[in-house]
Structure 1
Amino acid sequence: MSVDRTRQPDPVFDRIPPELAIRDRWLLWRAEGGKKVPYRAAEPRKRASSTDPTSWAGFDATRAAYRPGRDAGIGFALVPEDGLTVIDIDGNTSPEAVGLLEDVGCRFIETSPSGNGLHGWGFFAGELPRKKGIYHGINVEIYNAGRYMSVTGNATRSGPFSGLHGVLDLSRSIASSPAEKKPPPACPTQETQESQESHETQESQVMGGLCGGVEPARFLPKTTGNRNKRLFDLARHVKANRPEATKDELRAIAMQWHELALPTIGTKAFAETWGDFSRAWENVKYPEGALLAKILDNLDGDPIPPMPSGYGETEERLIRVCIRLQQYAGNAPFFLSARKAGDLIGLHFTNASAMLCGLVADGVLELVERGKRPKASSYRFKWGAT
């Protein structure tokens, strides 16, 4: 990102998020030649490096070393072991840009040093296919290692860091120019809003769960009446990912969920939340993912009826998935999102969405109900039915 030559506002040190302040990854930066040049807090005359830990300092030391006029701001060096990721939107603070960051999972969003852009922070551990490009006309950069990011503390959203459930799909979707952007699926039978889902996928309808790491923020209720179901979903999720969790660890997870859910559930006491979560933990029969794995066990050996011409191995695997889900659902429709279908057959969800549309067009599937966030679409397997 280029640097505004005008005077940069001073960092709002008291609003720097604790997830960053506790780590010794800090440096100063100055605007030189249109670039943000890093300098050491301990030796302000010497340049720092985004890849040399010996040139970094703690937050308090960097705050003390900062000099308005000499320094343009402070920066934080990103390293893989922290699991921290930042999405940098250049030259755009519109509601659409804020919405993009929120859809990806950013709960802490700050303005850039110039005030003309946004930084969205959160946790993501993994490789990013693309780190810089354009998404729906918005200039996006995504980083989690090998560089430093300026931090202003000028927060427009100041929630605790959470898992960036949508950052991988965003990284895959950004293009180097608007002409290279992949258009959304044209098929009207598949929900286009799946690009904005919080990974509330088919599994959440088949057995009521989500995917990913233990992130209580991803299980918050939208209404008071949704409270118990979301607590049970959280218990299934934790039991799948942390089956050996101690009582103290479970209590800490329940307490974090309770604090985040308070705006929705009102003043319900934590003791009630802890009691309901404990009962849910004891009553979980199928930890998250276990039932779906059981339903789809040894899938590739299933015979399938003769299919329309032109289908290959990927289509046939998706058909086998649909047959198994239909068998489990009996006479009822089964739920399947494009995101979950893509995970199961090794495709990006936009390609899986188009494939599901094709199966509907060929009469292999019947679309029973188009999904609306967070629900997946429901289908019936029709091919060969009498």
Structure 2
Amino acid sequence: GKHKQWVCVFGKETLERINEAMVKTLPTGKGQRNKAIFEFARNLRGIPGLSDLPREELKGFVEEWHSQALPVIGTKPFIETWIDFLKGWPKVKWPVNEEFIPMILTKAQSNPVDGYDDPRLSVLAAICRELHGINGQKFYLATRTAGKLLGVSHTMISRWLFLLEHDRLIETVVKGGTSENPRKATRFRYIGPQRKPK
């Protein structure tokens, strides 16, 4: 049946991770469905191979999630859950996944942004491009995380981000560490060249 088809399409390991995501995010009482379906979306986007799929291809999993949640949720029609999932999917800023950042790095390394002598800077620009692609609008990049990935200090990452902004590859959307936004990291938008076709 349906499960066999899914194994063919997604592979056993991916399916196990989807099931795990389902079990982990099911609501336990009324009034939790909306937040829970967003968490389900976050978990799904962290599974390699799913984040680039059209949302329609994930509908079966959302139906499965909904039917398992039915005994406890107040909103019964599936269409409500599906709409919330569709609205939530593009809002996922950080998928739940420890492999997420290395995955971004691999994509960036295989398609760096031209124009810099230092290959690490070209890769940093490409990381910004990939993050923007996933988040759809603005993204934030922790300088310490980026520094670890590229083997440079977080202060160097800050200097490089300054340069990328000066070169009009990225722009600041929300400045972090200000009185209006003391806690949040700076949010950027990528406005540079898109990925080169292979």
What TM bracket, shorter-length normalisation? Answer: 0.3 to 0.5
Write 1 or 2 for the structure with the bigger share of strand: 1
**TM-score after normalising by structure 1:** 0.23
Write 1 or 2 for the structure with the bigger share of helix: 2
Larger radius of gyration: 1
